[in-house]
Amino acid sequence: MKKALISGITGQDGSYLAEFLLGKGYEVYGIIRRSSSFNTGRIDPIYEDPHVPHRRLHLVYGDLNDASSLNRIIRTVQPDEIYNLGAQSHVRVSFDIPEYTGEITGLGTIRLLEAIRESGLKPKFYQASSSEMFGKVQDVPQRETTPFYPRSPYGAAKVYAYWITVNYREAYDLFACNGILFNHESPRRGETFVTRKITKAAARIKLGVQKDLYLGNLDAKRDWGFAGDYIQAMWMMLQAPKPEDYVIATGETHTVREFLELAFGRLQLDWQKHVKIDTKYYRPTEVDLLIGDASKAKRDLGWEAKVRFEELANMMVDADLAAERERLEGSQAKR
Ligand code: NAP
Ligand code: F7E
């Protein structure tokens, strides 16, 4: 039985990847951080689902800021595959906490790679690289050969993590891959990322518990896919005959405004009556246009995005409407 170690298991991607690997028969170890409130909400359902073999899921305390914890985890778990998904992943927030973002999103990767090297083990390694590295884009569409031009402390930290992963592959013959993933979303997306912020607000406005939604730049264009599709690409990269870097994207781009139209339209709402602009959500430097070319992943791995833009928006709106209804019914029942 193969053992996989996931940093960031409590996040959107970590939770989907854990379910996927358990389904493939893996023993899954996830690194969790100490928190004053529960932070395992996305993986708790695994324990309640009779179809997911949760006895093979193990959570261990550690932090990407704490090399000794990473050393200990790698020595004791001895994983066959490591997925480094842990990060301070919010681009806007990275302008407020740039040093911390560099520490976790950038240096966290070298801590993990050094822990691997010092252990003498040779696990396969996946690095969660990002389309934010392309920033002020030098090619349209962006592909593996497109030069990086990050536009945020987050993007710059991811560029460091990308190159240190390449360096450890070349210097120590480690099976290490960068997945350069474009934006991917789901009903489990963090609530402060724009898609989820929109779908949650649309549901609440429909049910009469919220009136307005405050957003920033509506003109930015993103290549949005579904997280459930994208985590499969991570696994496929580590099963390939040799370690390489891959762009993972849908190949379509849409504005934030288009996402608003779809999400509010799904609930027969006119977004223009509810959306207000608050400049605090603007970024000092914005990434205006992202669109990825995932043809290398299709050719080498047989991977391609299945869920498209409209289906993704509908899935997220429907899930938020159901969750919000349940929450309201629960609070009425308590009264
Ligand atoms: P996410 O939902 O924000 O999850 C981030 C995870 O990192 C959480 O489990 C978080 O733990 C953990 N984490 C944060 N700081 C940590 C630390 N100091 N030590 C250990 N773990 C820490 O992100 P996601 O959307 O699933 O993305 C997964 C990865 O892919 C991230 O590296 C992200 O930067 C990258 N990425 C995401 C996208 C996208 O569109 N989603 C695209 C490209 C790349 P807590 O739950 O305790 O906060
Ligand atoms: O912003 C605009 C904002 O925060 C998308 C992360 O997963 O994907 C994500 O980064 C766009 C930007 O995602 C609001 O200015 C407008 O142009 O949802 P987002 P992101 O910055 O693209 C990449 C690939 C990652 O790697 C990251 O980890 O939407 N926007 N109004 C807004 N964005 C937010 N968050 N909130 C707003 O109110």
The pLDDT, as a whole number, for residue 39 is: 95
User: In the prediction, which pLDDT does 20 show?
Assistant: 97
Residue 334: predicted pLDDT = 77
The residue nearest atom 27 of ligand 2, judged by CA position, is 89
Find out if CATH 3.40.50.720 is the number for domain 3-185+225-248. Answer: yes
Residue 48 confidence (pLDDT): 86
Q: Do domains 3-185+225-248 and 194-221+252-288+308-334 have the same CATH topology?
A: no
- Residue 248, ligand 2, Cβ within 6 A: no
Q: Give me the torsion for CA of 183, 188, 193, 197, rounded to 10°.
A: 130
Classify 212 as helix, strand or coil.
Answer: coil
pLDDT in tens, 233-243: 999 999 999 99
Looking at residue 13, what is its pLDDT? Answer: 98
- How much distance in Å is there from the Cα of 65 to the middle of ligand 1? 14
The domain limits of the chain are 3-185+225-248, 194-221+252-288+308-334
- Residue nearest (by alpha carbon) to ligand 2 atom 32: 194
142-155 exposure pattern, b = at least 16 Cβ within 10 A, e = fewer: bbbebebebbbbbb
Domain 194-221+252-288+308-334 fold is: UDP-galactose 4-epimerase; domain 1 (3.90.25)
DSSP for 113-156 reads HHHHHHHT---EEEEEEEGGGT-S-SSSSB-TTSPP---SHHHH
**How confident is the model over 171-201, as pLDDT tens digits?**
999 999 999 999 999 999 999 999 999 999 9
222 Cβ partners below 8 Å, 6+ apart?
A: 182, 183, 253, 254, 256, 290
Give the chain's residues under pLDDT 50: none
> 16, 83, 154, 168: which is the annotated catalytic residue?
154
Closest ligand, as measured to the CA of 87: 1
Distance in angstroms (rounded) separating the CA atoms of residues 71 and 63: 11
Among 30, 134, 46, CA closest to 85: 30
287 contacts 136 by C-beta, under 8 angstroms = yes
Residue 81 Cα to ligand 1 midpoint, Å, equals 18
